[in-house]
């Protein structure tokens, strides 16, 4: 009975150890790739296109104000 329990616990420990080791290696790889990309972005920065848009103010909405006023006094 204890033989099966020991074999099961051994298989579980080996499996969990393998997964844990893989995840640690994956985390280290992701961290290293992030550091490399950050370094390369400093050397080769990407161009940023600035788009200028006109700011719409309340005084530009005269047609909407007229429609609201007409709807308000229609009754």
Give the burial class of 75: count Cβ atoms within 10 A of its Cβ; 0-12 exposed, 13-18 middle, 19 or more buried.
Answer: exposed
Per-residue pLDDT, 43? 93
DSSP 46: P
Number of residues assigned to the chain: 75
Q: Rounded to whole angstroms, how far apart are CA atoms 29 and 19?
A: 15
- Series of mean pLDDT values for 10-residue runs along the chain (75 residues): 90 98 98 96 87 68 79 71
Per-residue pLDDT, 40? 93
Per-residue pLDDT, 60? 62
Per-residue pLDDT, 10? 96
Q: Rounded to whole angstroms, how far apart are CA atoms 30 and 25?
A: 9
């Amino acid at each position: 009975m204890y033989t099966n329990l020991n074999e099961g616990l051994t298989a579980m420990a080996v499996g969990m150890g393998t997964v844990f080791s893989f995840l640690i290696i994956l985390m280290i790889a992701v961290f290293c790739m992030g550091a490399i990309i950050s370094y390369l972005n400093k050397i080769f920065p990407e161009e940023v296109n600035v788009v200028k848009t006109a700011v719409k103010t309340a005084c530009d909405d005269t047609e909407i104000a007229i429609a609201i006023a007409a709807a308000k006094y229609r009754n």
